[in-house]
A and B are shown apart, each in its own frame.
Chain A
Amino acid sequence: MDETSHLDRAARATPPRIARRIQGLSDRTIAWIFVAPSIFLLLAVNIFPLIWTIRLSFTNYRVNRPNNAVEWVGLENYQRILSDEDVWQTMQATAHFLIWTIVLQVLIGFALAYLINKKFKGNDLWTTIIVFPMMLSPAVVGNFWTFLYQPQIGLFNYVVAFFTGADPASFSMIGDVNLAPWAIVIADTWMWTPFVMLICLAGLRSIPESIYEAAECDRASKWRQFWTITVPMVLPFLMLAVLFRGIENFKMFDMVVQLTGGGPGNTTTLTSIDLKREAFERWRTGYSSAYAVILFVTVFGLASIYVKALNKVKER
């Protein structure tokens, strides 16, 4: 059935009353009618708040002080943020969290996908079990891991104690400034590795079997096949997983708040937690708007560079 017959059928199916109304409208107008609601929603929900946030970021506005005069402060908010040591400390905490979660999730996720891709009995059952953590709410995972990390009753401490011989109550994952940054990395890795695994699995299953057969004919070793066929062909998928996890973890909030509350001290205060405190606890609306704009530009800039790199890899 060709395209013309589809159009004919659509025209015949249009009720006469509506057909009369749209008679004489150009294709372009009709296209705009269909697209307009989406554009309106996009402008109302995304673009307008963004512009409004940028405008507020140049003021001293505080939403809890409706009676105070709103003054234009220029770049002062931006200067204060970028010269604030505490903000840089939260940036460092975020970078630590971001880098290590991505590294661990990619390595473990790819390894799991590679194993699951092998045909064995109970393959589907294991896949279901492995993906279970990512079906939970991050807030629930945060709460759940606070119990696992409990020095007196926590399973995590007992497992570590079992292998190291240390007293389970002798260390506190979420109460120690050195261990707490790793506590949130471990919990996030537990939760989101399955997501990376699923993406890698899709990549592995998209590789045609014939390529491996050809490589076998050329007497390529398994090791060589892995590095010259599997890794390059899964790489775009892996990079996509890294992009998703990077963006998600840059704005990580709920799990970490439940797990550590940003402590001890500020060791696990990620930028999103800091931003929330500025905006909805300290009520520095202008300041927090500038903070949000800086984060937006950072994520948007990094993501754009990364997407370009991803496209290059795909083109290869």
Chain B
Amino acid sequence: MKKLLLAGTACNAIMILGAGASQAEELTLCWAAWDPANALVELSTDFEEQSGHTMNFEFVPWPNFADRMLNELNSGGQLCDLMIGDSQWIGGGAENGHYIKLNDFFEAEGIDMADFIPATVTGYAEWPKGTPNYYALPAFGDVVGWTYRKDWFERPEIQEAFQEEYGRELAVPASLDELKDIAAFFQGREIDGNTVYGAAIYTERGSEGITMGVTNVLYNYGFQYENPDEPYDMEGFVNSEGAVEGLEFYKELYEVGTPPGSSNWYMGENIDAYKSGQVALQMNFAFIWPGVEADPNVGGGASGYFANPPGPAGQFAQLGGQGISVVSYSDKQDAALEYIKWFAQPEIQARWWELGGYSALRAVVEDPGFAESQPYAQTFLDSMAIVKDFWAEPAYADLLLAMQDRVHNYVIAGDGTAQEALDGLVEDWVEIFEYEGKL
């Protein structure tokens, strides 16, 4: 009997220990190494306290983020339990089985995608696009916008010089043409004894930089990824007359209004150029705005923000941002889902915004006080209302590299014409979709 009791006690102890182990997990969340990631670490301490789970973080700098994390996913690695992957990964994540489908979980926990900004749901969570199949929860809303030196714009002598040269007031540009004028106006100008330049724009070759930049112009000149009535029909849409003009515009902007040596710039280089007082304008994702406001040189009211200006075919902006997914190879999926449930709560989302994370929850961004909560909050709302995103197909990496090659070769290296570049891009994309069996 004693032996039986002892055995029973031992079994109970093992079960309790086992249960305890399953309750308190060590979760690893993978994301890019940037300011919002630091805010997420701070935010997640609340989850650790509430759940008893421990959070580890694997943050990789943006230029290597896709390489490192897609390698991890493709090899079925178990490093990441939670992945805040780029919006374009959603197709591959879903079709290749890297992410688990979240529909049942959302239903069981009362998480409604209608509570999130529609563009972020389409951009970060759905696959196929436009269908209610969810593989992520919108985690970080982001979009390309512009930052400008409000303090320089307000100087009477600069105002006067601009008025004289362009016959209008120096103000936030109402169109892409006006933006180019402003960039050209500041190019090589002496301000406070320093030579400054017009605008820092995306030109980077290696990862996704120039594509994330040029699309802000192409969309507004009429570029479309495909025929809206016939999927994957790209001839005349990718290389339309407007798209060619848009690409020529971007090259001209690069030539007349950017700092010398800015031939391979992306987020980090643009931030540095702006904060060091080299440029009057910078194109960048909205995530940088809290950092700009806090900067001793350009923050505290010295900077202003505006949405990507319209072009002849409308006003759009390149979507950034990410959704949070549970990695299918993780053996801690229950704890990972707990994290998503916690993260989706309105009070956590509100705190996320306070810490510098761009919440995609409508309850947060539609709050009456939101637009006034930060100097850039209204611009963020305006920009999120006009977003378009790059392909999110499983072959997105192929599609992206083809565009990087074609656009960079034309804009930066001056190789060929804009028409040739976009015609070549159509050829590349057709070949990729043929391989994919979609054409």
Binding site for B on A (CB under 8 A): 63-67, 149-152, 154, 169-172, 174-177, 257, 260-267, 277, 280-283
Cross-chain contact A264 with B398 (CB below 8 angstroms): no
Chain B residues contacting A283 (CB-CB under 8 Å) are 70, 74, 397-398
CB-based nearest B residue for A172: B261
Stretch at the interface among B13-21, B285-293, B337-345, B411-419: B411-419
Whether A261 contacts B205 by the Cβ 8 Å rule is yes
CB distance from A51 to the nearest CB of B (A): 21
Across-interface contacts of A260 in B (CB, < 8 A): 205, 264
Q: How far is the CA of A265 from the CA of B205 in the complex (A)?
A: 8
Task: Give A151 to B263 CA distance when docked, in angstroms.
Answer: 11
* 8 Å CB contact of A151 from B92, B261, B409, B413: B261
Q: Give the residues from 382 to 420 in chain B that come closer than 8 angstroms, CB to CB, to chain A.
A: 394, 397-398, 401, 405, 408-409, 412-415
Q: How far is the CA of A172 from the CA of B409 in the complex (A)?
A: 17
Residue from B75, B263, B278, B397 within 8 A of A281 (CB atoms): B397
Check: B156 CB closer than 8 A to any chain A CB.
no
Please name all residues of chain B whose beta carbon is closer than 8 Å to the beta carbon of A177 when the two chains form the complex.
413-415
Q: Are A265 and B409 in contact (CB under 8 A)?
A: yes
A188 CA / B102 CA spacing, docked (Å): 51
Q: Is the CB of B413 within 8 A of A267?
A: yes
Q: Chain B residues with Cβ under 8 A from A176's Cβ?
A: 263
The reply to whether A151 and B401 form a contact with Cβ atoms under 8 Å apart is: no
B356 interfacial by beta-carbon distance below 8 Å: no
Could you write out 13 A-B pairs with CB less than 8 Å apart?
A64-B92, A64-B96, A64-B394, A67-B95, A152-B278, A169-B260, A172-B263, A175-B263, A177-B415, A260-B205, A263-B263, A263-B408, A281-B401
Tell me which of B75, B278, B413 contacts A263 (CB under 8 A).
B413
What's the minimum C-beta distance from A172 to chain B, rounded to whole angstroms?
4
CB contacts (< 8 Å) of A172 on chain B: these are 260-261, 263
What is the CB-to-nearest-CB distance from B314 to chain A, in angstroms, rounded to a whole number? Answer: 30
B409 — which chain A residues lie within 8 A by C-beta? 265-266
Q: Contact check, A151 vs B260: say whether CB atoms are below 8 A apart.
A: yes
Q: Could you say which residues of chain B place their CB within 8 Å of the CB of A154?
A: 261
Q: List chain B residues, Cβ under 8 A from A261.
A: 204-206, 264
B261 touches A175 (CB 8 A): yes
In the complex, which residues of chain B have a beta carbon less than 8 angstroms from the beta carbon of A264? 205, 263-264, 408, 412-413
State A175–B204 Cα separation when bound (angstroms). 11
Q: A257 to B64, alpha carbons, bound, how many Å?
A: 12
Q: Please judge, given known A-B contacts A64-B96, A169-B195, A277-B401, whether A263 and B264 are in contact too, CB under 8 Å.
A: yes
* Chain A residue nearest in CB terms to B410: A265
Q: Which residues of A contact B414 (CB under 8 A)?
A: 177, 265
Interface bits B67-104 vs A (CB < 8 Å: 1, else 0)? 10011001100000000000000001001110000000
A263-B408, A264-B408 known, 8 other contacts, Cβ within 8 Å: A66-B96, A152-B260, A169-B260, A174-B264, A175-B264, A261-B205, A265-B413, A266-B413
Which chain B residue has the least Cβ–Cβ distance from A259? B264
Say whether B141 faces chain A, with CB atoms less than 8 Å apart. no
**Whole-angstrom CA separation of A257 from B95 in the bound complex:** 31
Asked if B145 lies at the interface with its beta carbon under 8 angstroms from chain A, I say: no
5 smallest beta-carbon distances between A and B, as pairs: A265-B413, A175-B263, A263-B205, A261-B206, A151-B260
Interface string of B154-193 (1 = CB under 8 A from A): 0000000000000000000000000000000000000000
Residues of B within 8 A of A66 (CB): 74, 96-97
B262 within 8 A of A: yes
With A and B bound together, what is the CA distance between A261 and B394 in angstroms?
A: 25
Name the contact of B96 in the complex, choosing from A67, A262, A263 (C-beta under 8 A).
A67
Query: Is the CB–CB distance between A152 and B413 below 8 Å?
Result: no
> B123 within 8 Å of A by Cβ?
no
Q: How far is the CA of A261 from the CA of B415 in the complex (A)?
A: 17
Cβ contacts under 8 Å, A257 to chain B: 206
CB distance from A249 to the nearest CB of B (A): 20
- The residue on A at minimum CB distance from B75 is A63
Q: How far is the CA of A172 from the CA of B95 in the complex (A)?
A: 44
Which A residues are in CB contact (< 8 Å) with B71? 280
- B357 interface hit (Cβ, 8 Å): no
A304 to B278, CA, bound (A): 52
A174→B261 contact, CB < 8 A: yes
Q: How far is the CA of A26 from the CA of B92 in the complex (A)?
A: 58
Residues of B within 8 A of A151 (CB): 259-261
A282 x B408 contact (CB < 8 A): no
Q: Bound state CA distance, A150 and B197, in angstroms?
A: 14
In this complex, what residue of A is CB-closest to B437? A68
B-chain residues with CB within 8 Å of residue A263 when the two chains form the complex: 205-206, 263-264, 408, 412-413
B74 touches A265 (CB 8 A): no
Contacts of B263 in A (CB 8 A): 172, 174-176, 263-264
State whether A175 and B412 are in contact (beta carbons under 8 Å apart), knowing that A149-B261, A264-B263 are contacts in the complex: yes
Contact yes or no, B67 A170, CB < 8 A: no
The answer for the CA separation of A263 and B408 in the assembled complex, in Å, is 8
Q: How far is the CA of A280 from the CA of B74 in the complex (A)?
A: 10
Shortest beta-carbon distance from A283 to chain B in Å? 7
What CA separation (Å) do A261 and B263 show in the bound complex? 10
Name the A residues within 8 Å of B92 (CB-CB). 64
- Given known A-B contacts A175-B262, A260-B264, A65 and B96 have beta carbons under 8 A apart: yes
Cβ contact within 8 Å between A265 and B415: yes
When distances are taken between beta carbons in the complex, the residues of chain B under 8 Å from A152 are 195, 259-261, 278
Whole-angstrom distance from the CB of A132 to the nearest CB of chain B?
26
CA distance A170 to B195 in the complex (A): 13
Evaluate contact between B74 and A64: CB separation under 8 angstroms. Answer: yes
A169 and B95 CA atoms in complex are apart in Å by 49
- Tell whether, in the assembled complex, residue B74 and residue A63 are in contact, meaning their CB atoms are under 8 Å apart: yes
A192 to chain B, nearest CB (A): 23
Known interface pairs A175-B412, A263-B408, A263-B412; A282-B261 also in contact (CB < 8 Å): no
| Shortest distance from the beta carbon of B372 to any chain A beta carbon, whole Å | 38
- Distance to closest chain B CB from A276 (angstroms): 9
Once bound together, how far apart are the Cα atoms of A94 and B183, in whole Å?
37
A151 to B262 CA separation, bound complex (whole angstroms) = 9
- Report whether B415 and A175 are in contact in the complex, using a CB–CB cutoff of 8 Å: no
Residues of A contacting B75 with CB < 8 Å?
Answer: 63
The complex places the Cα of A167 from the Cα of B25 at a distance, in Å, of: 60
- Do B398 and A262 touch (CB < 8 A)? no
A65, A170, A174, A265: which contacts B408 (Cβ < 8 A)? A265
Separation in Å of the A31 CB from the closest CB of chain B? Answer: 39
Q: Bound state CA distance, A183 and B75, in angstroms?
A: 37
Distance A280 CA – B263 CA, assembled complex (angstroms): 24
